[in-house]
Chains A and B, each alone.
Chain A
Amino acid sequence: MKSTQLVSSIQENIARVIKGKSKVIELTVVALLARGHLLLEDVPGVGKTTLAHSLARSLDCSFKRIQFTSDLLPSDIVGVSIFNRQKQGFEFVPGPIFANIVLADEINRTTPKTQSSLLEAMSEAQISVDNQTCPLHQPFMVIATQNPAEYHGTFPLPESQLDRFLMRVQIGYPSPEEERKVLERPQSLHPAEALQPVATAHEVLALQQQVDDVLMEESLMEYLLAIVLATRQSDLLSLGVSTRGALALCRAAKALAFVRGRAYCLPDDIKELAPAVLSHRIMVSRAQGVRHRSFEQSEQIIQDLVESVPVPV
């Protein structure tokens, strides 16, 4: 009971800032509880950064923001060893990655070299600098944003990098009523600054632990695998979903069930999450005549594939 209240209070807290986007907020919390990272892909100005910010403010934990630019270097993210005159030796100065929630803003604006520096951090929650391995803070979550509308001077994320995000989410424009509410808000203060934390880092870790205990029945496991198999066998796709993708869908479904107050998964959980969790992991085959990875198109393909798989009764 207490954990569901905690989860809903986090959602309510974020909803005070991000108006009318309960679905996106739910997915954000799912990503947090599934120990995953979130890729927000949308046009500028719809609240990507604000979402990340308000999530960090709602949790009593550290938050760093990195603005990715083309001249950003890996050491600007993970940290660097500097010579200390007093101690006559090198000293490691941790970079902004040493935080619970890291916002990687406009991640596709930086070079692949710098993008790759996030790889180890995101999959193993640790970094290696100068033959030294440092564990990162727990819980650790990367929220990255990218702008799909503009491709000039961007470096699209490689598949390996994309695969490390639990899901890719689009925020979308708010409805006119919600937008009006945003406008009516006092402008003096950033709305996220007013938020009070509702959960500690420890509580988040405990919630993550509980998500692991959510039951996924055997037939649902097979349903999930059938979906993954369908992406691999589809003619529309040149690259199907990896095993990491299947694992991600499983974890995300468990987290969604938990967020919705259930101790077991339903087929709906898997079906609902499949586009968000799988769409960025696939490659649409060239025969489809698409030059760019289109968000909508790949989500639509996943959606259709999911509909082709029978649900266990």
Chain B
Amino acid sequence: MPFNQALRLSSVLLAAAAFIGLALGTNLPEWLVLFTGSSLIVSLLRTLGVDRLYRVLERIRLSTTAWNILTVIAFAGFWADLLWVSADLLQAGVHFLLILMVIKLFNLDQRRDYLHLYAISLMAILGSAASTTDLWYLPVFLAYLLMGVWTLLLYQLTKESDEKSGSLSFSDESAGTFRRREQITPELFWLANSLAAGALCLTILIFFTIPRVSAGFGQKGSGEGIRTSGFSETVDLGMIGPIKRDPGIVMRVELPDRTGLQMDRFYLRGMAYDRYDGKSWTTRLSHRRALVESPAGTFTVRQGSSRSPRPLGSIIRQRILLEALDTAVLFAAPYPESISGQFLAIQSDPTGAIYLPFPSAARLEYTVHSRPTPVAAADLQFQSAVYTEAFGQHFLQLPESSERVGALAREIVGTKASAYEKAQAIETYLSRHYRYSLDIAPGLQARPLEEFLFERKTGYCEHYATAMVVLLRNVGVPARLVTGFLATEWNEYGNYYLVRQRDAHAWVEVHLPNSGWVTMDPTPAVSETVGDSRWFAASRVIDTLRLRWNRFFVQYNAADQLAVMRGLKEGTTVVRDRAWGSLSSLVAPVGDFAGKLLSRVVEGNMRLTIGFLSCIVLGLGLVLWLAQRKPWNRWRHSGLIVREPVVIGQIYRGVLKQIERHGISKPQNATPQEFLRLVQQQWAGAGESVATITELYCRGRFGKVILTQQEIDAAYHSLKQLTLLDPPVHS
């Protein structure tokens, strides 16, 4: 590919990479995305030489003045945008930048136009860097880096050849001028790519050493957080329903101690509610107190009310990466004992919910130690329990006029004596006799609970949980409603649960005299349509990569830098381990995925196995065939043909310069052979050397013959001889 075309191509690709960065990172209006995208495609096609398109574009070619006028109009548009439409400097600036980019794309005539385009793309990629920390930025940035190196290299090369040929016009070639068609050789190709790789290495070095902020300061939707429902002081019945279809990711929960072991249902507790007024739940225990921080960074949660010695379950350690939400609640498996992370303060309320002082605008990472409450053996038998009045007011409260519900409760419980048995009976009854469905008309019904229990007999988690709490309270068992998330999506490649909006859930906590609060869930397990197909596995791998990216690159901050520095001082092992850890954590999930795919295929039926094996055999065969035929040799061969004339051409030009010093210059209209005769006449001593080089030059330049190393050495030798000769005797 000639340099000029390659420069055009890489410039357009550079602009495209920057545009993709902006389009993904910021909220662009659709028309602008379409407009810029199609302009990029058109310029790309034009660069690649789609003739018809080129002809059309030539016809509508505008003058420089027209382009300048367009630019001025775009600038006016920028002010209008800034003042009235988007009323935001960053947004209006981005829009203006893209319009400018389109104008420049169609107006790439002179060298400065290229420089303008590069400046615009640089600003665009900076803008997108400021707006995002997502994983997709990595490939976009890599593409930008690669294209940037290519573009600058080609820009320099074309500049040199332009200056050499002395023509100022950049695009048109008149029939009379001869421009050496400069081509991209394999050497140049690899040189450019390795330069890009070198630049990347340098970038990584700078990344690890220079202090930085951990979030993009213009990040999309920053300060708002993902909208959630069910984690405020009041929850209307029916609020969780609409978000049960939202696949947005809320958090990821890593269980470092439970590698590979998958649990079916993993509850992440948010808030608990004690009062139900027939329509909505409220909490009257919302007075929060700050938790004690000991040691630094770790906050201990003390369970409030229960004084009786309780049986203790085994500790579950969770590392949670929580997206920015519009609630201050921190989620954890029941019941959190300690929480650590980079917090200034943590609060908790008497129901055991933990809060930040205010909602976080950025992603959070924290570790929680939780201890579930198993049912004590004593609670399996009947235990008489006497609750304090305050306790009863909170957890035995009932909405008015629920005689019908009370009758149903007594009917379900029958002769069961212990609180646990009663709870189990109600749980079983609800999950057996009611149908789970999200197709409930939204909006407030007058008596949603009665409607669910007696008329519709269809509902979702909130209805089930509310019904269970009210039924339990009707038979004198203290209970409360809990909202949170029920994680079901286990990512085996990263050993974590992926929690989405649609995993929002409501369940029940029952108070047993000996055990304390025990989690129960009347909602029947719904088999979600999250298939275990390979496609989903691939998406899980990508999500794992996203998590690692966030942990090791986006969240990499001053503290980590200090650690690296310290490690460098103490010895290289720490650094090596850390670097290796970062790298392998990015690579491992992919390898793991491949391994699992393989094992699944092998475990599967015979036909799949045979197909897989034959694929491997075919692939190996292809590799062997390629190794034998070496089709790339032909490519290299043609590359050499292009390279040799360059070398011998340089030598020949060296000869011309050398001879010119002695007053014999080559006339424009003289062929190499004629010039040789001229030299032989005027400077007999140089004749032999010039003859050797001229012969090789003609062969390499016009014959495109591959010269051997010896021949090139001989040419160099002759050139050197020339400098040692006595000057010609002028008669």
Chain A 282-313 per-residue mask, 1 if CB under 8 angstroms from chain B, else 0 = 00000000000000000000000011111111
**Given A215-B704, A262-B703, A311-B668; A268-B674 close (CB under 8 Å):** yes
- A48 sits at the interface (CB 8 A): no
CB-CB under 8 A for A264 and B674, given A219-B178, A222-B178, A223-B178: no
Q: Does A271 contact B (CB under 8 A)?
A: yes
Indicate whether A226 reaches chain B with its CB closer than 8 angstroms.
yes
Any chain B CB within 8 A of the CB of A225? yes
Residues of B within 8 A of A306 (CB): 669
Question: Apart from A264-B702, A311-B672, what are 4 other A-B pairs with CB-CB below 8 Å?
Answer: A219-B178, A229-B176, A267-B671, A268-B671
Q: Cβ of A184 < 8 Å from any Cβ of B? A: no
16 chain-A/chain-B pairs, Cβ below 8 angstroms: A215-B703, A217-B701, A219-B178, A219-B702, A220-B702, A262-B703, A264-B702, A266-B671, A266-B672, A266-B673, A267-B702, A268-B672, A268-B673, A310-B669, A311-B669, A311-B672
How many B residues touch A, CB cutoff 8 Å? 24
Q: Which chain B residues border A266 with CB–CB below 8 Å?
A: 671-673, 698, 702
B155 part of interface (Cβ distance < 8 Å): no
Chain B residues with Cβ under 8 A from A80's Cβ?
none
Please, how many angstroms separate the alpha-carbon atoms of A219 and B702 in the complex?
8
Q: Is A263 an interface residue (CB 8 A)?
A: yes
Q: Which residue of B lies closest to A219 (CB)?
A: B178
In contact, B671 and A311 (Cβ under 8 angstroms): yes
A265 to chain B, nearest CB (A): 6
B residues neighboring A (CB under 8 Å): 175-176, 178, 180-181, 649, 652-653, 656, 666, 668-674, 698-699, 701-705
Q: Output the nearest chain B residue to A225 by Cβ-Cβ distance.
A: B175
Contact with B along A247-278 (1 / 0, CB 8 A): 00000000000000011111110010000000
Does A218 sit within 8 A of B, measured CB to CB?
yes
- Give chain B residues whose Cβ lies under 8 Å from the Cβ of A313: 649, 652-653, 656, 666
Considering the chains assembled together, what is the distance between the CA atoms of A71 and B176 in angstroms?
Answer: 49
Given A262-B703, A265-B702, A266-B698, A226–B176 Cβ distance below 8 Å?
yes
- The reply to whether A310 and B671 form a contact with Cβ atoms under 8 Å apart is no
The residue on B at minimum CB distance from A262 is B703
Q: Chain B: which residue is nearest A217 at the CB level?
A: B702
Contact status B703-A264, CB under 8 Å: yes
Residue contact A311 to B670, C-beta cutoff 8 Å:
yes
Q: How far is the CB of A245 from chain B (nearest CB, A)?
A: 16
- Chain B residue with the shortest CB-CB distance to A309: B669
For the complex, what is the distance from the CA of A288 to the CA of B646, rounded to whole Å?
45
Given A222-B175, A268-B673, residue A263 in contact with residue B668 (CB < 8 A)? no
CA distance A310 to B670 in the complex (A): 7
Q: Does A264 lie within 8 Å of B704, measured CB to CB? A: yes
Instruction: Kindly list chain B residues whose C-beta atoms are within 8 Å of the C-beta of A311.
Output: 668-672
Given contacts A229-B175, A313-B653, contact A267 B672 (CB under 8 A): yes
- Interface pair B178/A271, CB less than 8 Å apart: no
B671 / chain A contacts, CB cutoff of 8 Å: 266-268, 271, 311
Q: Give the distance in Å from the alpha carbon of A306 to the alpha carbon of B669 in the complex.
A: 8
Please give, as numbers and ranges, the residues of chain A lying within 8 Å of B670 by CB-CB distance. 311
A14–chain B nearest beta-carbon distance, Å: 25
Chain A contributes a number of interface residues (CB within 8 A of B) equal to 26
Closest chain B residue, CB of each to CB of A270: B671
Residues of B within 8 A of A307 (CB): 669
Complex Cα gap A44–B702 (Å): 41
**Which residues does chain A contribute within 8 Å of B649, judged by CB atoms?**
313
Task: Choose one: B180, B673, B674; the contact of A219 (CB below 8 Å).
Answer: B180
Residues of A near B701 (CB, < 8 A) are 217
CA distance A264 to B698 in the complex (A): 9
Taken together as a complex, chains A and B put the C-alpha atoms of A271 and B672 apart, in Å, by: 12
For the complex, what is the distance from the CA of A153 to the CA of B180, rounded to whole Å? 53
> How far apart are the CA atoms of A162 and B698 in the complex, in Å?
34
For the complex, give the distance between the alpha carbons of A215 and B702 in Å. Answer: 8
Q: In the complex, which of the residues A229, A263, A311 has the most CB atoms of chain B within 10 Å of its own CB atom? A: A311
Output the least CB separation between A67 and chain B (Å): 42
Contact partners of B702 in chain A: CB under 8 A: 215, 217, 219-220, 264-267
State A73–B668 Cα separation when bound (angstroms): 51
> What's the least CB distance linking B700 to chain A, in Å?
10
Instruction: Provide the A229-248 mask, 1 if CB < 8 A to any CB of B, else 0.
Output: 10000000000000000000
- Provide the A202-232 mask, 1 if CB < 8 A to any CB of B, else 0: 0000000000000101111011011001000
* Chain A to chain B: the 3 pairs with minimum beta-carbon distance, closest first: A264-B703, A310-B668, A267-B671
Find chain A residues with CB under 8 A from B705 CB: 264
| Residues in chain B near residue A263, CB distance under 8 A | 703
A254 to chain B, nearest CB (A): 12
With CB as the reference atom, state the residue of chain B lying closest to A307.
Answer: B669
User: Which residues of chain A are near B703, meaning CB under 8 Å?
Assistant: 215, 217, 262-264
Task: Quote the shortest CB–CB distance from A257 to chain B (angstroms).
Answer: 9
Q: How many whole Å from B172's CB to the nearest CB in chain A?
A: 15
A310 touches B178 (CB 8 A): yes
Q: In the complex, which residues of chain B have a beta carbon less than 8 angstroms from the beta carbon of A220?
A: 702
Q: Which residue of B178, B673, B674 is within 8 Å of A312 (Cβ)?
A: B178
Q: Tell me how far the C-beta of A179 lies from the nearest C-beta in chain B, rounded to whole angstroms.
A: 29
Give A91 to B704 CA distance when docked, in angstroms.
55
Contacts of B668 in A (CB 8 A): 310-311
Contacts of A223 in B (CB 8 A): 178
| Chain A residue, CB-CB nearest to B666 | A313
The CA-CA distance from A264 to B700 in the complex, in Å, is 10
Question: Chain B's nearest CB lies how many Å from the CB of A57?
Answer: 33
CB distance from B642 to the nearest CB of A (A): 12
- Which B residue sits closest to A311, measured CB to CB? B671
Chain B residues with Cβ under 8 A from A217's Cβ?
701-704
- C-alpha spacing A229/B705, complex, angstroms: 29
Chain A nearest CB from B654 CB (Å) reads 12
Residues in A172-221 with C-beta less than 8 Å from chain B: 215, 217-220
> How many angstroms between the C-alpha atoms of A143 and B653 in the bound complex?
44
Residues from chain B with Cβ under 8 Å of A229 in the complex: 175-176
State the CA gap A218–B699 with chains docked (Å). 14
The CA of A312 and the CA of B702, in the complex, are separated in Å by 10
Q: Which of A99-114 contact B (CB under 8 A)?
A: none
CA distance A229 to B177 in the complex (A): 12
Nearest residue, chain A, Cβ from B674: A268
Return chain A residues, CB-CB under 8 Å to B180.
Answer: 219
C-alpha spacing A265/B652, complex, angstroms: 18
Task: Determine the chain B residues whose CB is within 8 A of the CB of A226 once the complex forms.
Answer: 175-176
How many angstroms from the CA of A311 to the CA of B181 in the assembled complex? 16
Residue of A219, A223, A306 contacting most chain B CB atoms (<10 Å): A219
- The CB with the most chain A CB atoms within 10 A, among B669, B698, B702, is that of B702
Which has the most chain A C-beta neighbours within 10 Å: B176, B653, B666, B674? B176
Contacts of B672 in A (CB 8 A): 266-268, 311
Min distance, Cβ A3 to any Cβ of chain B, angstroms: 17
Query: Whose C-beta in chain B lies nearest to the C-beta of A228?
Result: B175
Residue of A at shortest CB range from B699?
Answer: A264
B181: A residues at CB distance < 8 A: 218-219
By a CB distance below 8 angstroms, the chain B residues around A219 are: 178, 180-181, 702
CA distance A268 to B698 in the complex (A): 10
Cα–Cα distance between A308 and B670 once the two chains are bound (Å): 10
CA distance A263 to B178 in the complex (A): 23
A310 to B165, CA, bound (A): 13
In angstroms, how far is the closest chain A Cβ from the Cβ of B295? 77
Assess A308 versus B669: contact at CB under 8 Å? Given A220-B702, A223-B178, A263-B703.
yes
